[in-house]
Structure 1
Amino acid sequence: MKLSDALSTYISKEILEETSSKIGIKEELLSSGIVDSIGMMRIVRFVEKTYKINVPFEDMTIENFMTIEAISNYVSKKLDKN
């Protein structure tokens, strides 16, 4: 499963508790209200556990976590460094 698909599925099922909705990879998660700050922390935890990476506090920025696309790019870069 692609990283962006895994993130979209996780957000839909675990945070929004919907099984039929699909979130676009370019949709803004926080500013649109799709995800709140607690939901964002859950996403960070999911990323850390699933991909076995550490997301330091200074990396928890809008640029890295604004959209599914941004999160996917961030995780991919972290995985490439390992």
Structure 2
Amino acid sequence: MNTKSEETVQSTPETVQQRIHEFLEERIKTDVAVDKDLFASGLVNSMFAMELVVFLEQAYGIAIIGEDLKLDNFRTVERMTSLVLRLLDTPVADHA
């Protein structure tokens, strides 16, 4: 079954950005600017990138695969927000 949660349907740039920001604050115990490079600043490492992938996939019912898995998509809250919104707007192919 391929249904979207109520939250996924109602996702706006502001709500997606806020949820990602809250997740980061909770996990790294630091407030970060939405445009701060999380990796260059040393706040997170490449292993944490996988946690970000899992969080975004579960929170928004999306699949982050192929070219979307590049580290640049996870450097800032802004980039993750753009990725989520783009993937939410992309229809998922039916593999029936």
TM-score range, shorter chain: 0.7 to 0.9
2:94 paired with 1:81:
no
Correspondences of 1:3-82 after superposition (within 5 Å): 3-14=16-27, 16=28, 18=29, 21-82=30-91
User: Amino acid of the residue matched to residue 4 of structure 1?
Assistant: Q
Q: Which has the higher contact order (CA 8 A, sep 6+)?
A: 2
Match of 2:5 in 1: none
Determine the C-alpha separation between the residues in 2 that align with 1:10 and 1:70. 15
TM-score (norm 1): 0.85
> RMSD of aligned C-alpha atoms?
1.4
Q: Alignment length, in residue pairs?
A: 78
Structure 1 segments, 4+ long, off by >6 Å, are: none
Measured after TM superposition, the shift of residue 38 of structure 1 is 1.4
Measured after TM superposition, the shift of residue 37 of structure 1 is 1.1
- Unaligned 5+ segments in structure 2 are 1-13, 92-96
Measured after TM superposition, the shift of residue 57 of structure 1 is 3.9
User: Amino acid of the residue matched to residue 2 of structure 1?
Assistant: T
Determine the C-alpha separation between the residues in 1 that align with 2:21 and 2:75. 13
Measured after TM superposition, the shift of residue 69 of structure 1 is 0.1
Name the larger-Rg structure. Answer: 2
- Unaligned 5+ segments in structure 1 are none
TM-score (norm 2): 0.73
